[in-house]
Every structure is written in C-alpha cells, then in structure tokens.
Structure 1
C-alpha cells in the first residue's frame, strides 16, 4: 500500500511537470506560427500545415514506441532499420504476388520479432540497450543492402496497398488516421493499464519495481516488441507512400524519433514520458523544416536547430533535477 501511495504521489508530480512542458511546447508552436505567418503567406494554410503533419506521421509512429522505451530508461537505435526491414518484407512479398493481408502481417511480424530480440539481448544477455540496439541497427542495415543488392524494391504497388500510404477518408489522409488511431490506443495503454503503469514504475525505480512483483524481463521484452511493432507500421505505411523500398530507407529516423520524444518531455533517465508531447515534438521538428524551406534557408540548419532544442530541453531537465537535490 505504501509503495502504491508513493507511486501515485510521484506520478502526480510527474504529470504536473509534463503538463507545464506541454504548455511550453504549445506556446512555442503558437509563437512560431505567428512569426512565420508574418514572414511567409504560404505558411498558415490548411494545405501547408496538413503537409507538415503528414510528413511528421512516420516519426510520430516511431516516437510512440520510443516513448515507452525511454520511459523504462532504455533506448532503441534500431527503429529506423526495423522500419526498413518491415516495409521491405511487405513490398517484397507483394512483388511476389502474395496476398496483401499475409504480406502486411509478415511485415508486422518482422518488426515485433526484431524488437523482441532486442529485449531478449537486454534482459537475458545483459547487454545495455544502447549496444544491443546499435548492433541490431548495424546488422539490419547490412541485411537490407545484401537483400536488395543495393537496388530498391519496386513494382509491388497494388490498389489496396496504395491506399495505406496515399488514400484518404473524408478528406483526411490515411497515414494521419493511422497515427491518430495509434495515439488513442497507446495513450490508453500508457495511462490507464497495468502495463503502462509498470513501464513508468520500472523507469522510476527498477529495484522497487522488482520488489513489488513486476516481471521486469517480460516487461522489457514487451516494450521493445511494441517499439518494433510501431516501426513496422511506420515502415509499411512509408513503403506505400514512397512506392519504393531502398536499402537506406529510414536511416536517421531513430534520431528524429528520440528527438521528438525528448522534446515532448520524455526523460532520458526514465520514469517520465508523454505521448501527447511526442506528437508535438514530431510536429515541431517538421514545422522547423517547413519554415526553413519556405524561407529558402539551407536545410542543413534544421539539424543544428534540432540539436539546440534538444540541448535546451535536456539542460532544463538537468538543472531542475539538480535544483531539487540541492
């Protein structure tokens, strides 16, 4: 009972802090929109903002899984390559005239299995998450080059599959619908289920989580499998959107996913996360890219600005923790 009460108290404090961070992000977005509206007539239009949201969908999907991983105090550097492997598997099977349902199922399964494999390496071989997922990233990218022979997969588009990345329902593009549905489901899981509470408890205090009866190994395997599943969904959607799968598909996406989660208030040290913040973080990343593009500024500045934002967010978190200790 004492442990539960302490956990609820800690969760309440974390929620208040995240709420303040979300308000700060919303103020930043609003200020950026005001400035960009003054600088460019093309910025504050439905088509432009819809385009920004559509581009950020894939990082959002990866970021959702990453939020769970980071909340446990871990990290997943392999989401970009899992995206490529899953999209590649589905595209390859479709090019072999396999029915769309088993082709998509196989792509999803690849993501789940690779993600679960990461979890097994971390829990059973006691390899740190950084090294385990870095190894998976390297191996997976090599597999993509060997598998494709450095030649992109094409000629796999069929009507039903094309709809996943390019269709729309009542004017709302289907990739955006996928992201919205994924967010609703995962937000419920993260905030309202024992699994979500266990993820936060583990990230806050691993030893206390073990003492309270949480099967931490199973929990981590499930978390990394979930990250793989979200990467697979993003990969299949992106393969449909691009109509091609190349060996470097998704390269660098893992860094954007981590950045989106961190900007959104998820802590690198674990125990705290926000899927709403991840949505805003991904949107901000592409909003900056869009603004630079409209202002005809070198796109390389996007990486610099993104890094500065991450430094500010992490720096503020570090200073707040140090202030509490003092």
Structure 2
C-alpha cells in the first residue's frame, strides 16, 4: 500500500518539471529572436526619449515605407545565408533594375510589362550566379562579388552616370508613392512578400531543404534532394527580390539611378545576421530578419532625427550593429552549451 500511494505522487511531480524544461528549451531555441526583439524595443525607447518626432505616426509610417526594399531583400537573403552562401550583388541588381525601369518607361513600354521584365531580369541574374555557385562550385563570395562589379558597371554604362526621370503621372509611381487605407503601398508589398517568405521557409519542403543544405548538404543529398538545384533557386529568389526592391525604389524616387543601392548589400546582410540567421548556414529565421531590418531602419532614422553629423552616422550605426550581433551570438552559444 505504501508503494501504491507514493507512486502517484511521483508521477504527479514529473509534469511540472517536464513543462519547465520544455519552456526553457523553447526559450533557448528562440534566444536570437528574443534578443533582437528586446534590442529593437530598447532602440525605439532611446530614440523616443531623445527625439520628440520619432514616435509620431508620420515618422513611423515613413520608416516602414523606406524600409520596404530592405525588408524584401533581407527576407530573400535569409534563404541564401541559411544555405551557407552570401549574395553581395543585390545592391547592384537593385541599381540595374531601377535604371532599366526608368529607361523602359521612357521608351513607351507599358508599366505592367516593365515590372514583369525587371523581375524576370533579376531572376535571370540570380540564376546565372547560382549556376556558377551550385554547379561549378565557385564560392558564392567570389561569384557575387564579381556580379556586384559587373552589374553596377552595366547600370553606369546605360545611364552614363546620370539619373533617368520617370513621369510623375505614370501609374508606375503608384508602387512607390501610393497609400492604401492609410498604409504606404511599398509596406503592403513588403508585408505580402514577407508572409510568403515565412510560409515557404517554415512550412514547405523547400524551406527544409534550404536549412538542410546549410546544416549538412551531403546528408541531404544522400536523402535524395537535389541540393544543387536548391542552391541555385535561392539565388534566383535573391535576384528577383532585389529587382522588386529596385522597382519600388524607382517608383518612390521618380527616377532610375545607377548610383542607387550603394552599400545596400551590407545593410541587408547586417539585418539578416542581426536577426539571428547564422552566417555559417543551417539556421535561419524570417521573423528575426524582419526585426533585424526594422532595427537597422530605426537606427538610421533615429540618428537623422537626433541631428547627428552624417559623417558620424555610419560609425555609430556600425558600432551598434556589431554590439547587437555580438550579444546575439553570445546568447546563442550559451544556449548550445546549456543543452
């Protein structure tokens, strides 16, 4: 009888411990997202106190509108970096598609056709780079670094270094300047793309293949997955996203410029890594990328509102991002050791 009365108490005591362990494991697994979320909140609070204009509705909507290209390309870059690769050419693709969009509109091509052509061009550029990376085994850093130079050079060759204006009455500008239900259209486009990216990354076989390629490509290949095609496709996605960003930027500015997107690839990579995606591959998060991109955008906006010298702005921005990523990595390593 003694045994029978004590056994239920032992079983009753087990569930709380199991529940506590599961909560701890879940917190560890999402440590990078939690850390960037907290950092994002701290940055917003600091700028809210430092500047009276930061938390106003017009400024916040402006931040969201201006960060739309960054959000779109960062979502695609999450796929690339999760495979263990990198795409340094996204800023140049943005400039090329921005330039060609303006030139095509001036040539009288209907704006829907221009949008489709630019998206196709971005996908083609990504496919070419992806072929050399996936099938010729050339490191992604080398391939996309060459792409950065070649594609930017094409944009400069087309424009001669000048901007190409877009008629303000052209419906094309709706993509960058219009508002719908009080929300900027670029933000709505970014929201749709982020939603699709989240579903594909987390709830489809392709998303699992992307993570598997970054974690252990050989094991995934032996399981019957075409790892080369998967690698090629992430660069197609990245190129298409960069083209979409170029279209939105050209529509918002009302011109196409070969100088657009200078250093854009660095902001994109910073946003993705800041959000918790590992530069070594095998671990990525779209939600973390969104928070990382918004953090980068908020820092840039807040420093401008604080009337900081434009020469100091990149120094402060880079330092803040470096510290945040360092803390992020420390938290993640701590979680791995605890396991």
TM-score by length of 2: 0.87
Asked if 1 retains the 8 angstrom alpha-carbon contact of 2:94 and 2:245, the reply is yes
Q: Name the CA distance, whole Å, in 1 between partners of 2:127 and 2:153.
A: 19
Determine which of 168, 177, 188 is the counterpart of 2:188.
177
Determine which of 205, 227, 233 is the counterpart of 2:244.
233
- Stretches of structure 1 lacking an aligned partner (at least 5 in a row): 1-11
Q: Secondary structure at the match of 1:68?
A: helix
Matched ranges for 1:1-326 at <5 A: 16-17=27-28, 19-316=30-327, 319=330, 320-321=332-333, 324=336
Asked if 1 retains the 8 angstrom alpha-carbon contact of 2:122 and 2:236, the reply is yes
Return the offset for 1:325. Answer: 7.1
- Stretches of structure 2 lacking an aligned partner (at least 5 in a row): 1-22
Return the offset for 1:77. Answer: 0.1
CA RMSD of superposed structures (Å) = 2.2
Q: Judging changes above 3 Å, is the alpha-carbon distance between structure 1 residues 324 and 20 closer, same or farther for their aligned structure 2 residues?
A: closer
Q: Name the CA distance, whole Å, in 1 between partners of 2:75 and 2:192.
A: 12
| Deviation readout 1:68-112 (Å, 9 max, x if unpaired) | 000000000000111112222222111101111211111111100
**1:9 aligned residue:** none
**What is the number of equivalent residue pairs in this alignment?**
315
Q: Judging changes above 3 Å, is the alpha-carbon distance between structure 1 residues 279 and 317 closer, same or farther for their aligned structure 2 residues?
A: closer
Q: Judging changes above 3 Å, is the alpha-carbon distance between structure 1 residues 14 and 231 closer, same or farther for their aligned structure 2 residues?
A: farther
Asked if 1 retains the 8 angstrom alpha-carbon contact of 2:82 and 2:282, the reply is yes
Higher mean alpha-carbon deviation, 112-121 vs 25-34, is at 25-34
Return the offset for 1:304. Answer: 2.2
From the CA coordinates, give the structure whose radius of gyration is larger: 2
Q: Name the CA distance, whole Å, in 2 between partners of 1:238 and 1:126.
A: 33
